[in-house]
Amino acid sequence: MTDTPAFDVQAVRDHFPALSRRVDGRPLAFLDGPAGTQVPHECIDGIVAYLETSNANLHGAFLTSHETDAMMDEVHAAAADFLGAADGSEITFGANMTTLTFAVSRAIGRTLTAGDEIVVTQLDHDGDVAPWLTMAEERGAVIRQVGIRPEDCTLDMDALEAALSPRTRLVAVTLASNAVGSIPPVARIAEMVHAAGAWLWVDAVHAGPHLPIDVAALGADFLICSPYKFFGPHLGLLWARRELLESLPAVKVRPAADDLPGRWETGTQSHEMLAGLLGTFRYLEWVGVSQGGASGEPGAADGRRRTRLKAAMTASRAYERSLIPPLISGLCSVPGLQIRGIVDPAHFDERCPTVSFTLGERHPRAIAEVLGQRGIFSWDGDNYAYELIRALGLAESGGMVRVGLVHYNTLDEIDRLVEALREIAAGR
Ligand SMILES: Cc1ncc(COP(=O)(O)O)c(C=O)c1O
């Protein structure tokens, strides 16, 4: 891609109060997005306004409870628009992705018989592996693990094909790797999985801030993500096909409604965080209108919200895509630096700007610390991609340093990162 997309990154950054923070006179470079992004003022304002005016529990006979009911309906509907779902009843909120995955995997486990098979991958975060391992152990199911191609850290599609059998009941795969940024061909995987008669569980946590998501186009049966990774508050968000949400044996308290969306939402939800998430969706609608050429007013609950949200994510992807070549070539110019993941420009469409690397014999934590002292925030270690780090033989040496860009990051920040790494490599 050679065109520079018309993406006004400064206008975007102006929505994020944290991005103007300076320490010792230096601006901060938030390259830690894969572990959680910063939030726009719309999100913060939504949390504050809810707590100031409408804080109540659901289904009461008074004003603030009515307002809470309305806010809850609206945030479910907005999340459905974000994911291309039919409507808000297909959306379930929870504490985070891992907690929701444990709950739903346990319910799925209740439908299995001993010897049924679950497929997981080496590319996945442990939040999309451990719940399936636990459930399989409890239910006598068999786990098959699909490996990666170590040369570029992409999913081994031949191994995936070989792992499928008539006993396969579910395949759990990531839509983008939180460790190395690879984007597996999930729509193709869906066809393979369905041909085997199994369900596809898609972990879209890392993909959330990077890609437009359309659950129908992907062919997913379940898709899960975490709003705190796409400019929202700390929450988990699950979509599943209605028929599955209605029929799987959910574990729930007795008086709770058996209809959707309440069936999978145990206890009281974090209403203020959900009000904040509504603010995040309004912000993304603004991105869609101002950067993606969509029409309409952010916050207008009409049929065009899906168009605005999709336009936001399409514009984000185009902008982020333009950052991948300078990020990769800049990192590759640092002596001794080795990226694990896709570095061939011909395959940049198959990755997002999340990049992990080692630098000679230096311990990843030591590198992250020096970067942190310079106001450049990165992560180090395994980032819960246990199987991947083990497969790469890096588990004993501190894993890797990970930097991840989202749509508020800039070319200037890439330059700062590369310069700092060059100095670290030179021992300065
Ligand atoms: C790809 C991926 N899946 C799952 C998780 C776990 O998400 P949560 O913290 O919401 O449980 C993460 C968190 O980093 C992730 O990046």
- Tokens 């209403």 belong to residue: 271
Those residues whose C-beta lies under 8 Å from the C-beta of residue 228, and which sit 6 or more positions away, are 36, 37, 96, 234, 235
Instruction: Look at residue 258 in the predicted model and tell me its pLDDT.
Output: 75
> In b/e form, how buried is each residue of 347-383, taking b as 16+ CB within 10 angstroms?
ebebbbbbbbbbbeebebeebbebbeebbbbbbbbbb
Instruction: Look at residue 3 in the predicted model and tell me its pLDDT.
Output: 45
Give yes or no for residue 202 having a pLDDT over 70. yes
Three-class DSSP category at 232? coil
Q: State the alpha helices, DSSP H only, in 54-156.
A: 63-83, 97-109, 130-139
232 CA distance to ligand 1 centroid (A)? 14
Question: Whose C-alpha lies nearest to ligand 1, atom 14?
Answer: 35
359 CA distance to ligand 1 centroid (A)? 26
Ligand 1 atom at shortest distance from the alpha carbon of 384: 14
What is the identity of the amino acid at 120? V
User: What is the pLDDT confidence band of residue 239, given thresholds at 50, 70 and 90?
Assistant: very high
Give yes or no for residue 2 having a pLDDT over 50. no
- Alpha-carbon span 72 to 89, nearest angstrom: 11
Find out whether 381 and 33 touch, Cβ atoms under 8 Å: no
Ligand 1 atom at shortest distance from the alpha carbon of 207: 1
Ligand 1 atom at shortest distance from the alpha carbon of 177: 1
207 CA distance to ligand 1 centroid (A)? 10
Instruction: Look at residue 295 in the predicted model and tell me its pLDDT.
Output: 92
Instruction: Look at residue 255 in the predicted model and tell me its pLDDT.
Output: 65
Q: Which residues line ligand 1 (CB under 6 A)?
A: 96-98, 125, 127-128, 174, 178, 203, 205-206, 226, 236
List the structure tokens of 113.
Answer: 């018989």
107 CA distance to ligand 1 centroid (A)? 20
What integer is the mean pLDDT of 6-27? 96
Give yes or no for residue 269 having a pLDDT over 80. yes
226 CA distance to ligand 1 centroid (A)? 7
Those residues whose C-beta lies under 8 Å from the C-beta of residue 181, and which sit 6 or more positions away, are 341, 342, 351, 352, 353, 354, 355, 356, 404
C-alpha of 403 from chain center: 15
Question: How many of the other CB atoms lie within 10 Å of CB of 195?
Answer: 9
> In b/e form, how buried is each residue of 13-42, taking b as 16+ CB within 10 angstroms?
bebbeebeeeeeeeebbbbbbbebbbbbeb
Longest dimension (CA), the chain: 68
- Alpha-carbon span 26 to 252, nearest angstrom: 50
What integer is the mean pLDDT of 291-313? 92
User: What is the pLDDT confidence band of residue 4, given thresholds at 50, 70 and 90?
Assistant: very low
**pLDDT tens for each residue of 366-419:** 999 999 999 999 999 999 999 999 999 999 999 999 999 999 999 999 999 999
- % of the chain at pLDDT higher than 70: 98
238 CA distance to ligand 1 centroid (A)? 13
Find out whether 402 and 34 touch, Cβ atoms under 8 Å: yes
- Alpha-carbon span 15 to 197, nearest angstrom: 45
What is the best residue among 92, 180, 206, 379 to mutate for testing ligand 1's pocket, by most ligand atoms within 8 Å of CB? 206
User: What is the pLDDT confidence band of residue 1, given thresholds at 50, 70 and 90?
Assistant: very low
What kind and span of H or E run contains 237? strand 236-240
Give yes or no for residue 100 having a pLDDT over 50. yes
Give yes or no for residue 256 having a pLDDT over 90. no
Find out whether 7 and 408 touch, Cβ atoms under 8 Å: no
- Alpha-carbon span 279 to 39, nearest angstrom: 10
What is the best residue among 101, 224, 226 to mutate for testing ligand 1's pocket, by most ligand atoms within 8 Å of CB? 226
228 CA distance to ligand 1 centroid (A)? 10
What is the best residue among 180, 205, 235 to mutate for testing ligand 1's pocket, by most ligand atoms within 8 Å of CB? 205
What is the best residue among 102, 178, 228 to mutate for testing ligand 1's pocket, by most ligand atoms within 8 Å of CB? 178
Q: State the alpha helices, DSSP H only, in 260-300.
A: 271-290
- Alpha-carbon span 173 to 330, nearest angstrom: 30
- DSSP output for 18-43: GGG-EETTEEPEE-BGGG-----HHH
Rounded to a whole number of angstroms, the distance between the first and last alpha carbons of the chain is 35
Q: What is the mean pLDDT of the chain?
A: 96
- Tokens 């070549």 belong to residue: 325
For the chain, how big is the Rg over CA atoms in Å? 21
Ligand 1 atom at shortest distance from the alpha carbon of 234: 10
**pLDDT tens for each residue of 305-337:** 999 999 999 999 999 999 999 999 999 999 999
1 CA distance to ligand 1 centroid (A)? 30
Q: Closest Cα partner for 400 from 352, 366, 349?
A: 366
Give yes or no for residue 119 having a pLDDT over 90. yes
What domains can be seen in the chain, in order of their start residue? 9-41+310-425 (3.90.1150.10), 47-279 (3.40.640.10)
